Structure 1
Amino acid sequence: MSEAVDVVVIGAGPAGLSAALNLVRARREVVLIDGGRPRNAATLASHGFLSRDGISPLELRKLGREEVAGYPGATVVDRVNVTSVVRSGDGLLVRAQARGAAEPLEWRAAAVVVATGLTEVMPALPSLRAFYGTALHSCMACDGYEKADRPIALIGETDDLAEQALLLSAWSRDLVVFTNAIGEVGGADEARLGELGIRVERRAIADIEGDRAGMTGVRLADGEVVAREGGFLRPRYATALEFLDGLAPAADDDGLLVVDPEGRTAVPGLYATGDVTPPGPQQLIVAAGAGARTASAVHRDLLRVALGG
């Protein structure tokens, strides 16, 4: 039997937690579904979150979950994967499966908020994960300060590496941009970077060098090692939204859900917030703010329906 609730929030990152918290405070019955696999799990510290600068992202999630769960209108379910969201009468039916459980879960909701975030697709380097979250990061705004004036790398296979390198130069100009023989940096952009003392390395990468003390360099396919103490990755991003196939919400060219400024999709009752919406990856505090804004829209829309408006 499916349980009837006001809202199901799918995803327990900053955007989903913020949406759920504001909705339960609006006296809504809310189910918060946490898949238990956050994108930033490898990161030791989160930065730029007011009053929580330097906190572990896992601790931030833990605190947020506890705050949501402390309200009587909230139900938090952990290690659960949503399998489908489909139309059911005037609302939506959410089907899910808890890992290790035989029986599926179902909720009938007046509204569903998708806050599932993104998956990072990294360059295929054997030792990359060993240094990710400590020496290597993907968010300059989050971790650039800690790399200030150090010899660092920017590694990516995208066509915006020059733009990213210019942004990164605010923290350090002792910078080498590695395209791994795939990323694109035009001649004019390379000249502009060169004026700042930033080198572009176009050869293929074999691996990341280092030991338990940390990263020491980038080893190229021809054997040369370029000494670097850390740096930033420019991953590609992917969504995992197959559970919405039955509703077919609009998405942009990057697979991000198209929403209005308050998080409404074109599907009645379906909302999205955080990294899964344009422009994509955001600082934690920005995602949390987006979740709060979407929660306000959900509450007002449900109230309008209840009052016959």
Structure 2
Amino acid sequence: MSDQPEARAGEAFDHEAFDHKAYDHAAFDHEAYDCVVVGAGPAGLSAALNLTRARQRVLVVDSDRPRHAATMLSHGFITRDGVPPHELRRIAREELERYPEAEVLRRASVDSISRDDGSAQAGDAWGSAAAHPFTVRISGRTAAGARTVRSRTVLVATGLRETLPALPSIRAFYGMSLFSCAACDGYEQGDGPVALIGETDDLYARALLVGQWSSTVTVFTNGVAPLTAHEETALGDRGIRVERRVIDDLEGERGAIAAVRLADGERIPVTGGFVRPLWHPIVGFLGALDLDTDDSGHLVTDRDGRTSLPGVYAAGDVAAPGPQQLIVAAGAGARAAAIITHDLLGVTTAH
């Protein structure tokens, strides 16, 4: 194990034991950074912007495969309500890349991150293993894009991958008339008949939530979701119908869902809907760090984004099960950036 402090998430951070020595940035090694940000969604880009404005040298590794790529419009982001998510990313990257302290690697991914066991000493050179204990191995879409860099800290903002119910046409409607986030897209559903499709054990709670935005909701369990008889009765008392039969497919044209077709051939008309995917935090490249995770695989952090290993932070959907909104992730990234700067300096002030 490392000589760095072993505080677990939520425990007090040992500033005296952690390396927070000031370095001469004018003499930096071009492959050494104050922070490597893994992921360029709202959490990662927000963190990177705030870190660069604190004059930290930052490398952002952007796979350019955002989970919201299928979504036409984003909502609930102050000053940007109704803006396409790809436009938010474009603006954020453009703003970040104005700063000389920031570097963005596009169409790249992190293969692994390891941590040197040595502890920093006064006089350690910028870019040395002691001063920059994290080694980050990066690959691009071609062999020429491979790089290995060192960093004082790492921020994980990789988000989630999703597995949708196995319906043949579901991708044709996902992001256009079928969504996963009720808070993000519920308002536009109006009062038309809405479907909630899912096979997860939280379907009852999701149905109650979707009922906030639509008065005509049908929950489709696809024959497998574990809704109890008591839960079905409780939903019925709220005017929410439960359909337990197996789904054959979805019907509609040009991204607009029109009906859920059941295996027995019956069609249930809908004008929109929600789906409850299975979520998979993107953390496979972190195996060598042995970070604490919860039962769902999310990274466990304290309220400031510190993981169980000092020097590694997490923000956005990879670190918590929700709410999965762009503005929430961006706020988490900004907070983590402030904490990283404070930790590197060894200060504990709230401002």
Q: Which has the larger radius of gyration?
A: 2
Quote how far apart the aligned CAs of 1:185 are. Answer: 1.3
Corresponding residue number in structure 1 for 2:60: 32
Q: Is the 8 A contact 1:118 1:281 kept in 2?
A: no
Unaligned stretches of 5+ residues in structure 2: 1-28, 117-128
Q: Percent identity?
A: 55
Quote how far apart the aligned CAs of 1:213 are. Answer: 6.6
Q: Are 2:55 and 1:13 equivalent residues in the alignment?
A: no
CA displacement 1:73-107 (0-9 Å, x = unmatched): 00011000100000134420110101123452111
CA displacement 1:21-77 (0-9 Å, x = unmatched): 000000000001111100000000000000000000010011101111110100011
The match for 1:178 among 213, 217, 220 is: 220
The letter of the residue matching 2:157 is A
Corresponding residue number in structure 2 for 1:76: 104
Q: Are 2:195 and 1:150 equivalent residues in the alignment?
A: no
Detail structure 1 runs of 4+ shifted over 6 Å in the superposition: none
The match for 1:247 among 274, 279, 289 is: 289
Q: Is the 8 A contact 2:173 2:255 kept in 1?
A: no
**Cα distance change on mapping 1:213 and 1:28 into 2, 3 Å:** closer
Find the residue that maps to 1:302 and give its secondary structure. helix
The letter of the residue matching 2:148 is E
Q: Are 2:243 and 1:222 equivalent residues in the alignment?
A: no
**Cα distance change on mapping 1:266 and 1:27 into 2, 3 Å:** same
Q: Distance in 2 between matches of 1:23 and 1:223?
A: 56
CA displacement 1:225-279 (0-9 Å, x = unmatched): 1111110001110022121111110100000001111111121211111000123
Q: Distance in 2 between matches of 1:210 and 1:45?
A: 20
Unaligned stretches of 5+ residues in structure 1: none
Total equivalences in the alignment: 305
Q: Are 2:98 and 1:56 equivalent residues in the alignment?
A: no
Q: Distance in 2 between matches of 1:125 and 1:216?
A: 15
**Cα distance change on mapping 1:213 and 1:93 into 2, 3 Å:** closer
The match for 2:160 among 80, 103, 118 is: 118
Q: Distance in 1 between matches of 2:148 and 2:323?
A: 30
The letter of the residue matching 2:80 is R
Quote how far apart the aligned CAs of 1:280 are. Answer: 3.9
Corresponding residue number in structure 1 for 2:94: 66
Q: Distance in 2 between matches of 1:236 and 1:95?
A: 29
More displaced stretch, 205-214 vs 29-38: 205-214
Q: Distance in 2 between matches of 1:113 and 1:60?
A: 21
CA displacement 1:121-159 (0-9 Å, x = unmatched): 110111000000111000000000000211110000011
Q: How does 1:88-167 map to 2 (within 5 A)?
A: 88=116, 89-90=129-130, 91-102=133-144, 104-167=146-209
What value does the CA root-mean-square deviation take over the aligned residues? 1.4
Q: Distance in 1 between matches of 2:254 and 2:40?
A: 32
- Report the TM-score when normalising by structure 1: 0.96
Corresponding residue number in structure 2 for 1:195: 237
